[in-house]
Structure 1
Amino acid sequence: MKAKVGDRLVLEPTHPGSPRRVGVITELHHDDGSPPYTVRWLDDEHETLVYPGPEGRVEAGHR
């Protein structure tokens, strides 16, 4: 998985009834765009450090 600042990280739920999470990548921690990422979640504007698993995907953001 590779990303750039401004891309969206989408985490699909791993349990029935859990919500999908969508956030904007605000910081990379490796020059090659590999995880982990600092992500600002769209639902609550909270920022967290994320190591996405197989439920995650990166979508190109607006640059």
Structure 2
Amino acid sequence: MTAPATASRADRTARTEGTGASMRARVGDEIVVRGTTAGVVARDGEVVGLHHPDGSPPYDVRWAENGRVTLYFPGPDAHVRHLTHAPAGDGRGPAE
């Protein structure tokens, strides 16, 4: 039997990317915060503003529970959910 191969640096980065200070977001993405302690309320919100062109924190987030926009510095209990947005069409269907 052989020992399992150790994860490459790229593998480790891929697993941890999207949490805490290492996350990258775009306007329209969703921030999801899940507490790790009993009694901590889970919450989510939409990224409505960026402070850095590379998408690193902090973010302006509109929270779903109350619609309030706050400056948010994500912790290790947060991750970004990248949402894909379909290009706006004219509603007529595919071109012929």
The gaps in structure 1 that reach 5 residues or longer are none
Structure 1's consecutive aligned runs of 4 or more residues displaced over 6 angstroms after TM superposition are none
Alignment TM-score, normalising by the size of structure 2: 0.62
Larger RCO (alpha carbons 8 Å, 6+ apart): 1
The gaps in structure 2 that reach 5 residues or longer are 1-22, 86-96
Alignment TM-score, normalising by the size of structure 1: 0.92
Read off the aligned partner of 2:70 and give its amino acid letter: T
**After alignment, is 13-22 or 24-33 more displaced?**
13-22
Higher helix share: 2
How many residue pairs get matched? 63
The sequence identity of aligned pairs, in percent, is 44
Q: Match for 1:25 among 37, 43, 47? A: 47
Name the CA distance, whole Å, in 1 between partners of 2:36 and 2:69.
21
